[in-house]
Amino acid sequence: MHFLDQAKIFVRSGAGGPGAVSFRREKFMEYGGPDGGNGGKGGDIIFEAVPGLNTLIDFRYTQHFRAPRGSGGAGANRTGPGGRDLIIRVPVGTQVLSEDKETVLADFTRPGQREVFLRGGDGGRGNASYKTSTNRAPRQHGTGWPGDEAWVWLRLKLLADAGLVGLPNAGKSTFINAVTNANAKVGAYAFTTTRPQLGVVSHKQREFVVADIPGLIEGAADGAGIGDRFLGHIERCRVLLHLIDSHADDPVAAYRIVRGELEAYGADLAEKPEVIALNKADLLDEELTEALIAELEAESGAQVLPLSGATGQGLEAVLDRLIEAIGPSEMHAQDTGEDEEPREWSPI
């Protein structure tokens, strides 16, 4: 399945059906009078977040979504049937943006969340509703209110607990393959990862989701390399795991480059809790490893853990630190009575 995290679509809600012009005609009923019913309401455009989806690829081939209009009214004061609502299913983590990408119109962060995005037009009035004491036989009727329409952008931000950052070839793909069920591509060249990867870690009776994004290089915020487009997928992570290649020409400079790109991107990425690991430590002797860790700790002001995704060295300690930074799971928080933000549910 191809990964697509942005798509532009056109949506239109249904127009209301026209009201009817009708008069009651029955034998032995001298004065039947008007009995035209109202038109039906047009269908709504509804977005719904569903689990199991992690790409917007379907919207590359289907870009126009139109809800049906309401049916017209009929005699005997019969209201026309309303148009069926059109439900557009999107992955959890999808944002709906205005056409200029400046305004977030809806944000879907939990499975089952539904939002009426465009409301269908109301049906027109039938001639029965126009009857008055001075207008006994009205022939006017409403044509129905039009629906709304808009071009919008869908932008997917993957929901993960921990995000991997680092320069290309820092060993992020090897790490996520070692601790999760992911099957990320690994190669001895830069940018083997060209799209975000998700994996589920099971460690000490806890499960959490890790997101791997393409490597950053200096100037990514200005479009260098793959750019910083995929940084949006770790905006909602609770902690960042910063992997540094111990075989880089200057590991301290590599740390500075990634931190600089996080700060340039914004969205408080630079303020997130960070676990720092010196990767590929199995290829260094103990003395050199300790020296590099001391330099990185002096630069970052935080503890640096030695790690080898290939051999498993240091994995337990890194996962322990990630779980500590992520905090208790929702189920654990409920069991222990910890307070959480209330979740609102708006039924349709």
Domain housing 329: 162-336
Please check if 124 is assigned to a binding site: no
User: Looking at the predicted structure, is the pLDDT value of residue 8 above 70?
Assistant: yes
- Domains in the chain, number: 2
Instruction: Give the least confident one: 87-91, 226-230, 275-279.
Output: 226-230
Please check if 148 is assigned to a binding site: no
Please check if 309 is assigned to a binding site: yes
Please check if 310 is assigned to a binding site: yes
Please check if 277 is assigned to a binding site: no
What average pLDDT does the structure give for the chain? Answer: 84
Question: For 206-220, how does the pLDDT look when each residue is reduced to its tens digit (9 = 90+)?
Answer: 888 888 877 776 766
Tell whether 247 and 188 lie within a shared domain. Answer: yes
Tell whether 166 and 78 lie within a shared domain. Answer: no
Give the pLDDT score at 88.
96
Please check if 211 is assigned to a binding site: no
Tell whether 297 and 263 lie within a shared domain. Answer: yes
Please check if 336 is assigned to a binding site: no
Q: pLDDT over 70 for what percent of the chain?
A: 86
Tell whether 49 and 185 lie within a shared domain. Answer: no
Higher pLDDT, 158 or 67: 67
Tell whether 112 and 219 lie within a shared domain. Answer: no
Query: For the residues 95-109, what does the mean pLDDT come to?
Result: 93
Tell whether 4 and 145 lie within a shared domain. Answer: yes
Q: Which of 156, 172, 187 represents a domain boundary (last residue)?
A: 156
Highest mean pLDDT among 173-182, 238-247, 328-337: 238-247
Please check if 192 is assigned to a binding site: no
Do the beta carbons of residue 171 and residue 217 sit within 8 Å? no
Query: For the residues 156-167, what does the mean pLDDT come to?
Result: 86
Q: Where are the beta strands (DSSP E) in the chain?
A: 6-12, 45-50, 64-66, 86-91, 94-97, 104-107, 114-118, 149-156, 162-165, 197-203, 206-212, 239-245, 274-279, 304-306
Do the beta carbons of residue 235 and residue 157 sit within 8 Å? yes
Nearest to 243 by CA among 190, 206, 281, 196: 281
- Residue 268: CB partners within 8 Å, gap ≥ 6? none
Tell whether 239 and 104 lie within a shared domain. Answer: no
CATH assignment at residue 137: 2.70.210.12
Cα distances from 287 to residues 279, 291, 308, 313, 318, in angstroms, run 15, 6, 16, 16, 21
